[in-house]
């Protein structure tokens, strides 16, 4: 089972080993995207949950892309039959007064009954389905990493072959598809509507292309219920996401939510999101300054390797620092979401005991 990224008194080894059998009996629920089940442009502890579940439950969640309203999609050449009807419903009927400061249409929030500040929410990404045969990629004047080089706006539609899992970017240029959600997060500790654009301690718009089906995300809980939201579907993305968008598309994800009890006073409690793939441990850092984000991601991996890893004896901080230098990868996640993102990839194959 995935490694837990924090130590808590409530989770003994025996308890951890017992979790999978109990969770296998939990039901799967479905949350469709409608005008009443989305949060447009924000995460909030004050938002009323559209679904409340228990730890261990699995939810299939439908989401929208960031490509725009049906009229815009049709003007770009997308057939009306390839635009799900719930897109028009949401753009027509979601109250303008309810929108937050960001542009992402997120499905949720989903509250997990047991979640409280100081806990860790484990999100197992079980499955991701691409719902439409197209993706869009856009950049706008004054946006992206090279705004002075491209002082205008442009949108490209990329046909998706969902059988072969290839995007036809241009004649002779095909892109393998690895769908993931650019935005997965929970409420922040602050009140009000937190902008969906910048990633932070709550996760949010991380745009981490490693978080495909089969991976697990760990987020420190900031408020009662956690209030998980998801959206910003990507069929693929390059590290950096330099023009400000990926292969934006409509996705449906199946997630299992598990709460690990902790305390705000726990010495080694999780502060920043971490993730785990079948082959890698991942730490993250987010900041307006790329150097600071890099320092954060490296320090978070040092903390994990020296204090929090459960699969292997803890390294010293010196050993962890050296191991990152000689055997791990420090990657730029994205450069365009107000706060830049950096993640450290540490191969599990390094640990032989």
pLDDT tens for 149-162 read: 999 999 999 999 99
Length of the chain equals 353
14 pLDDT tier (thresholds 50, 70, 90): very low
For the chain, how are helix, strand and coil distributed in percent, rounded to 5?
20, 35, 50
What's the whole-number mean pLDDT along residues 192-197? 96
Q: What is the pLDDT of residue 353?
A: 78
Alpha-carbon gap, residue 219 to 286, rounded angstroms: 14
230 pLDDT tier (thresholds 50, 70, 90): very high
| Residue 117 vs residues 22, 45, 257, 261, 329: alpha-carbon distances, Å | 24, 11, 16, 9, 31
Alpha-carbon gap, residue 345 to 323, rounded angstroms: 11
Please determine, for residue 84, whether its predicted confidence score (pLDDT) is greater than 70. Answer: yes
Q: To which H or E segment does residue 286 belong?
A: strand 280-287
Q: What is the pLDDT of residue 16?
A: 41
pTM of full prediction above 0.75: yes
Alpha-carbon gap, residue 236 to 227, rounded angstroms: 26
What's the whole-number mean pLDDT along residues 63-85? 97
191 pLDDT tier (thresholds 50, 70, 90): confident
pLDDT tens for 270-324 read: 999 999 999 999 999 999 999 999 999 999 999 999 999 988 999 999 999 999 9
25 pLDDT tier (thresholds 50, 70, 90): low
Q: What is the pLDDT of residue 175?
A: 98
């Amino acid at each position: 089972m995935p490694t837990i990224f924090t130590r808590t008194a409530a989770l003994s080894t025996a308890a951890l080993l017992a979790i999978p059998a109990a969770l296998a009996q939990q039901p799967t629920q479905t949350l469709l995207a409608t005008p009443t089940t989305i949060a447009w442009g924000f995460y909030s502890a004050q938002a009323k949950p559209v679904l409340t579940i228990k730890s261990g439950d699995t939810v299939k969640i439908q989401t929208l892309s960031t490509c725009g309203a049906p009229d815009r999609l049709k003007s770009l050449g997308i057939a009306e039959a390839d635009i799900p009807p719930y897109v028009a419903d949401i753009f027509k009927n979601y109250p303008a007064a309810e929108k937050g400061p960001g542009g992402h249409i997120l499905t949720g929030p989903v509250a997990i009954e047991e979640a409280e500040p100081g806990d860790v929410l484990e999100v197992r990404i079980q499955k991701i389905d691409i719902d439409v045969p197209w993706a869009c990629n856009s950049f706008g004047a004054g946006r992206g990493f090279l705004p002075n080089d491209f002082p205008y706006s442009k949108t490209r539609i990329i046909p998706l072959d969902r059988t072969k899992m290839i995007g036809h970017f241009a004649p002779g240029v095909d892109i393998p598809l690895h769908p993931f959600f650019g935005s997965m997060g929970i409420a922040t500790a602050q009140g009000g509507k937190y902008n969906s654009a910048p990633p932070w301690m709550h996760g949010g718009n991380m745009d981490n292309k490693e978080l495909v089906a089969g991976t697990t995300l760990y987020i420190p809980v900031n408020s009662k219920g956690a209030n998980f939201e998801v959206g910003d579907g990507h069929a693929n993305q390059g590290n950096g996401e330099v023009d400000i968008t990926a292969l934006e598309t409509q996705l449906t994800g199946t997630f299992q939510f598990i709460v690990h009890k902790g305390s705000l006073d726990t010495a080694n409690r999780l502060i920043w999101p971490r993730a785990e793939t079948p082959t890698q441990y991942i730490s993250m850092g987010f900041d307006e300054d790329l150097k600071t984000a890099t320092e954060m991601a490296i320090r978070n991996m040092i903390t994990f390797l020296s204090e929090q890893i459960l699969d292997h004896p803890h390294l010293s901080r010196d050993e962890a620092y050296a191991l990152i230098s000689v055997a791990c990868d420090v990657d730029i996640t994205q450069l365009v979401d107000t706060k830049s993102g950096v993640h450290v990839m540490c191969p599990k194959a390094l640990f032989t005991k």
